[in-house]
Each structure stands twice: as structure tokens, then as C-alpha cells.
């Protein structure tokens, strides 16, 4: 089987990570692949914040949890209320992707970059999980105050985060709906 196809078919969302940090070389390879993603008109209006500081990650999780508990979503409140709740599943590395708010098609561009990150991680046997709920960090003044600390450029907004780390689980492939294709020949 083609190696690229094998990586795509083997990649899973990992929600249990080992505590050991990924190497600087592995991280750089992943980030190099992120910026090679296709993007509209080569505008590259994305930004990647890499967080490996446990204290910063824990503070982000506390603010997200606080924001969730203050919103009206019962499903999210139940999740955040669990004693073992951690937005990033205790991954040692988190990449926060943000984008220039008014750039055309930037959400798609960032999605493609996120996919490149997950595939580059899988190719190195590093687990990943794309997390969109992390946007809740910025639902309060306390969370918005972190923008500067996280190095988010002015006018850029959160798109998603990707948790990265060595895998501590091997989930099976979840069932896929094969009735989503329509052929016009």
C-alpha cells in the first residue's frame, strides 16, 4: 500500500497521551508540513502558536472549564464537570491555529493545515486530536487576555487546536458511512 494512504488510513484521534514531550525535530517536521498545506491564493493568513508549557496549558484548561460552566450548554457542562476533564487530554504539546479574521477562505486553509499536522504526526507515530471547543477559551475577558501571551497577532481569531504527543492508546477505526457518495458519470 502507498505510504501516504497507509498514514491516512491509520490516523485516529488520540485522547490519551504519554507525558514525555515530543522531540524538537519531530515538532519542527510537523510544523514544516503545516505551512505546506494548500491555501487560497497563497495568502498564508494563518498563525501557529505552539504551547509546551504545562502551567500555561493548565491555565488555559481552567479558563475553558470556567467558561463552559458559565454557558448554557448542558452537554458541555457535564463534560467539563467531570473530575478528569482536560480540554487537550493532557497532551504535552498543543498547537493553536489562528487566522486573520477577514481573509477569504481562511477557515478552509487552516483546516488543511490542521490535517497536514495530524498526518505528519501520524507518519512519525505521534498521536493527535483536533479540538474546536478550545475556542471557548476566548469567551471571557480572562481568556481574551491570554491572546497576547499566546502570541496571537492582532486581528487573528482562534480556528482550532491540535493536541500532540506520544500515543497511550490505540483506538479502532470507528464505523464510516459509505453512503455519502454520489456519482455523476
- pLDDT the model gives residue 30: 98
Q: Which three cell numbers stand for residue 97?
A: 491555529
CB 43 within 8 A of CB 109: yes
Tens place of pLDDT for every residue, the chain, 185 residues?
Answer: 899 999 999 999 999 999 999 999 999 999 999 999 999 999 999 999 999 999 999 999 999 999 999 998 999 999 999 999 999 999 999 999 999 999 999 999 999 999 999 999 999 999 999 999 999 999 999 999 999 999 999 999 999 999 999 999 999 999 999 999 999 99
Number of domains in the chain: 1
Residue-range definition of the domain harbouring residue 127: 3-166
The pLDDT assigned to 128 comes to 98
In a domain, 175, yes or no: no
Q: Write the Ramachandran bin of 174: left for phi over 0, alpha for psi from -120 to 50, otherwise beta.
A: beta
Per-residue pLDDT at 176: 93
Query: CATH code at 61?
Result: 3.40.109.10
The cell numbers describing 7, all together, are: 498514514
Q: What is the pLDDT at residue 109?
A: 98
pLDDT at 177: 96
Residue 179 within any structural domain of the chain: no
Residues paired with residue 96 on neighbouring β-strands, in sequence order: 49, 161
The verdict on residue 178 lying in a domain is: no
Residue 58 lies in a domain: yes
Residue 180 lies in a domain: no
pLDDT of residue 72: 84
Amino acid at each position: 500500500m502507498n505510504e501516504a494512504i497507509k498514514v491516512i488510513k491509520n490516523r485516529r484521534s488520540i485522547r490519551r497521551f504519554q507525558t514525555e514531550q515530543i522531540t524538537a525535530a519531530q515538532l519542527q517536521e510537523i510544523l514544516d508540513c503545516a505551512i505546506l498545506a494548500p491555501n487560497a491564493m497563497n495568502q498564508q493568513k494563518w498563525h501557529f502558536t505552539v504551547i509546551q508549557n504545562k502551567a500555561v496549558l493548565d491555565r488555559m484548561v481552567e479558563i475553558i472549564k470556567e467558561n463552559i460552566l458559565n454557558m448554557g450548554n448542558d452537554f458541555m457542562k457535564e463534560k467539563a464537570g467531570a473530575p478528569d476533564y482536560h480540554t487537550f487530554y493532557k497532551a504535552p504539546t498543543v498547537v493553536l491555529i489562528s487566522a486573520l479574521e477577514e481573509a477569504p477562505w481562511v477557515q478552509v486553509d487552516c483546516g488543511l493545515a490542521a490535517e497536514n499536522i495530524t498526518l505528519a504526526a501520524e507518519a512519525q507515530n505521534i498521536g493527535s486530536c483536533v479540538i474546536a471547543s478550545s475556542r471557548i477559551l476566548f469567551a471571557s475577558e480572562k481568556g481574551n487576555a491570554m491572546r497576547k501571551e499566546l502570541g496571537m497577532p492582532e486581528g487573528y481569531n482562534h480556528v482550532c487546536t491540535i493536541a500532540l504527543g506520544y500515543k497511550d492508546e490505540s483506538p479502532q477505526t470507528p464505523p464510516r458511512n459509505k453512503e455519502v457518495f454520489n456519482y455523476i458519470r
